[in-house]
Structures are given as structure tokens and as C-alpha cells.
Chains A and B, each alone.
Chain A
Amino acid sequence: MPSSPHLRSPSRTSIVAVENVSCSYGDFLAVDAVSLSVEAGRIHALLGTNGAGKTTLLETIQGFRRPLSGGIEVFGRDPWRHRTEVAGRTGTMLQESGLVDEMTVADQLSLWRGVSVREDSVDRVLKLVGLDHRRRVPVSVLSGGERRRLDFAMALWGDPELVVLDEPTTGLDPQSRRTMWSIIRDLNAAGTTVLLTTHYLDEAQQLADSVTMLDQGRIAIEGTMSDVLAAIPARITFDTDADAPALAELWSLVAGDVAQTPAGGTNNDPSARATVWSITVQTPELQDDVAAVMDWARARGLRLDRLRCAPASLEEVFFEMGSALTTGKA
């Protein structure tokens, strides 16, 4: 059994501390020297493509697998050696629901009441996930989304200190997905720490305070959500029929890079002098450059169609990272 080295300066409020952990399946290294920390009361998202090592890392954190090397502490304990102790304080939702088909929904939760060290009521958790009207239905006839919600209810049983969710909203309809987000936010507001994996980058961006992006078992990007998003410039986009001198002036006013491309059409007014341009300003100074663009347009009486300004999305970061890794820049 590998030793559990004393973790280097883990934060006092760190619920999950992973230090230089590697995991393998035979010769295949699924997780390669990953370190991360999940602070108490935060939501941390593990992101990555299929096979990036998210679930392997998550299961190692839960004590299902022994790491090849490195150390993990959850609540200050080695989860491999103290699995039951860690599990008693953790609510878990697996990537696939592990339900007993012969049971009814209420039976499944009654079983959970019996085997959980935390107390709760079946009625409360069923109402929480919107399954109270399905309590007498056999698990075998639940839809995929309802199974996920029942699984979620089991993870929430007894208000655990840490909730681990492996792709929690996969297979859910948009409304159920939003409802689950809302419940996760409420849990987090009440002090619960959440560690989740997801394929949905918008979900991570909506929920997470911090992220770790894995690529082929290694950390590609990590940090707080704002830091990660700041890695890619924000964008201001709009369509305008400004003439060339006006556009040249815009270039000198903003701090970011300006790109102009034909918008794919011309003004309907045959007397109009200009082609419509799609302008994209990529800027590290979103607020200042928005003000500069608006001042520029107002001074010239220009209308900015399809105006949009936003920081980079996690999706843009993800794909930027992907192309950087593919071309060997990272």
C-alpha cells in the first residue's frame, strides 16, 4: 500500500486535499500527478473530455481506489484507509445510478435511511427533488431523468458536509437541470462543500467557484472561475456601417485587438456608402473598452447592431486549451 505522505501545507479549511496523485489501470496511467484542493463551503468542478481521468480521480478521492502514488486527505483522513468514516460525512451521486430495481422509490430511500449514519426524512428529500408523487412507483419504471433525481436525493440524504456529484445532470431535461442547479446552490449557501464533474461547461460556469480541467490525466488548467475565465480575453462584438476612417479611429481608442469582417450583407438603402462590418474587440479591459466603443459610436451617431459584450466563457477557455494542447503550446 502506498504511503500517505503528509500533504504540503493544506489549507486549514480544505475539505479535500489531493497531492501529486497518480492512478493507473495496468499500464495505462489514468491520472498523472494531479494536485488540487477543495475549500470548505465552495463548489469545485472537475472538467475534461471523456477519458480525461475525472471519474477515476473522483473515485480515488472517495476511497474506492487506491492511488498509485501521492496522497489524498478528505476531512483530514486518508479515504482509502478510512472509507467508512469519510463516506459517513459525504453524499455521493455516481455517474450511473446504482438503484435496486425491485424496490419502490420510497423503499430505496428507506433503505438509505437504514444504511446512512445521517438522519433525514423520506418526505423531505423526495419533495426536494420533485419525486414525492412517484414514491410508490417501482424504481424499474422510472425514466432516466427520474432515476438521476432519485440518485441525487440519496446523495443529499441527511445534509452531508461534502457532496460528490459525478455528472449529475446528464440525461436531465433543461427544467430538471435548472432545478438541480438551484438545489446545489441552496446546499452550498447552507455551507455544504460540493465537488462535481460535468461535461456541461455552462453548468460548471454557473455553479463552480473553482475548476480543475484535466486532459489525458494531467491538469491543463486550474484556478478560481474568475482566474480561469480571465485567461482568455473578453469580447465585444457588434455590426456597424461605420466608414473606414471611423473604424481606424476605433482601433486607436480601445486597448484590445480589433478584427473586422464583412457582415455578409449591405444596407438596404442604396444611397448608403458602406458595407456592414462585424467588429470583434478582444480585450483584457472589458469595462474600459466598452465605454470607449460606446463613446465612439455616440460621437458619430452610429447604431451598433447585435451589440454583445461578455467575458470569455468556460467553453471558449476549454476549446482554447484544447487547441493549445493539440498544437503543443501548453
Chain B
Amino acid sequence: MTTATANSKSPSRLISSLMFAELRVFMRQPVMIALTLLLPAGLLGITAVAEVSDQPDVWAQIAGRNVVATQCITVYFVALNTITARRHTLALKRLRTTALPSFGIVAGLLTPPLLVGLFQVTVVLVGLGFLGAPMPDSPLLVTVSALAGMVIAALAGVVTSAFTANPEKAQWTMLPLFVAAMGAVSILPTIGEGMLGVGLRLVPLVANAHLVTAGWIPGDVSGATVATDLGIMASWILVLGVLAWRTFRWERRH
């Protein structure tokens, strides 16, 4: 009756198929293309016009702030929006009728924001170099911090989606984290390393910005600073991972 044949595919092959499909959908949306290209261009443009400096500390702070801006706007918001939209249209539930593992479905949906976020962070950091920023003193710390920030932002998007009924409401539910993170990153350089500074670093993604900054400035970074920031990041990954697992819903929210 049909030409259909049975075949066996590994879970990783199924997940990668979903990742590529989601990436294709993402890249076909003009607004997403604009976001992908214009965000780093805008961040670099603002820096070029208003913030070029001969102070390495200033460049380090700009790098930390821009990395977190990218993570908040692209990774966090797109992850939140994608999961919420797919849940709202029941595409999440539909994918669950396949042999895809549950984790693989979420991972597949998070692929576009993570890859685009990685692209943008790279463009922003390389662009800063073209604008006159010195090379980071510790590229490893910058890299680890940027990658951990992407994971935190993606998980935060998944958690926030559990409390977001539809994509329209995502514009509101994203605000608390976005405002808190960007606000804390903006005032952190003026606060210093005191108790208030440590307190601000507890806000999600702020420790990442702090570690990017610390890794950029020439000279030795204190072990305590690195340990504190890495500990905060690891804690957020753990907490958000557990929250994402516990609060995740496949069904549409009403």
C-alpha cells in the first residue's frame, strides 16, 4: 500500500533534526534576522559613538555589560518566547508524540537562541577589539563566563515560560529579570567589591558580567573573585535547572 519503511534513528539524530528545523524557522523570520544582526551592531555603534576610551578598565566594563545585554535580549528573551509560543500552539505537546526524548525537545528549541547568542557575543567582543579595546588578559575566564551566562539565560527563559501564558505576555514576564540584570550590571562598577557589590552579583547574569570584566583587566585576578563568581554561576545553573525541571509544562497555559 505504501512505500514507507521502518528505520531506527538514534535519539541524538532525532534531536539534531529538531535543532536544524528550529534553526531554519528562526532564520526565516525577518525580525529574528534583524535581531541577530542589529543587536551587536547597535551595541558596537553605541560604544563607538560614546564610549571609546584609553582606559582598559572601561573596556572591561563595556565588555561585561555587552555580553550580558546579548544574553538577556537574545538568549533569555528568544528562549522564553520560543518555548512559550510552541507551548501555546501545542507544538510542544505534538513533538512529545514522537520518539524524541523530553530533554531533547527542549534542547532542540533552545538551539537557535544559544547559537545566535554565541554568534552575537563573538561579534561584540571581536568588535570591541576593532574599536580599540585591549585583548582580554584571561580569555579563558571570559569564555567560561560567557558560555555559563548563555546556559543561565536559556534556563531562565525556560523557567519564565512556565509562568507565561502566551508570547504576548512574554514581553512583560521577561521584564523583572531583564531590568534586574541590566540594572545591576550598569551600577556594579560604581559600587565596588563591598557587600553591596557581592549582593548585586547574586542577581542572575551579573556574576558573569563581573567575571568577564575581571578577566579582561590586565593583571592577576584574585582567586576569591573567580571562585565567588563561578560559585554564583554554578548555583544559578543548578537552581534554574531544578526549577525548569519542576515547573516545565507541556500543556497550554490558560
Contacts and interface: CB of A to CB of B under 8 A. Distances in A.
A64 B96 contact: yes
A186 interface: yes
A324 B1 CA distance: 45
B90 A117 contact: no
Interface stretch (B13-21, B126-134, B149-157, B195-203): B13-21
Contact of B95 (A90, A115, A117, A186): A115
Interface string B221-254: 0000000000000000000000000000010000
Interface residues of B, number: 35
Given A103-B25, A115-B95, A84 B9 contact: no
Nearest to A64: B96
A107 interface: yes
Interface in A77-118: 83-85, 87-88, 90, 92, 94, 96-103, 107, 110-118
A117 B21 contact: no
A103 B25 CA distance: 7
B99 A114 contact: no
A119 B6 contact: yes
A158 interface: yes
A190 interface: yes
A92 B95 CA distance: 10
A96 B90 contact: yes
A120 B97 contact: no
Interface string B15-31: 00110110011001100
Nearest to A90: B97
Interface residues of A, number: 38
A124 B2 contact: yes
Nearest to B94: A98
A84 B90 contact: no
B100 interface: yes
A328 B231 CA distance: 65
A94 B25 contact: no
Contacts of A107: 21, 24-25
B6 A118 contact: yes
B33 to A, nearest CB: 13
Interface of B: 1-9, 11, 14, 17-18, 20-21, 24-25, 28-29, 86, 89-102, 250
30 contacts: A84-B11, A87-B97, A88-B99, A90-B97, A94-B94, A94-B97, A96-B90, A97-B90, A98-B91, A98-B93, A100-B91, A102-B25, A102-B28, A102-B29, A107-B21, A111-B21, A112-B98, A114-B21, A115-B18, A115-B100, A117-B14, A118-B7, A119-B4, A119-B5, A119-B6, A121-B3, A121-B4, A154-B94, A158-B6, A186-B1
Given A87-B98, A119-B4, A124-B2, 8 more contacts: A64-B93, A83-B102, A85-B99, A94-B93, A94-B97, A115-B98, A117-B7, A120-B2
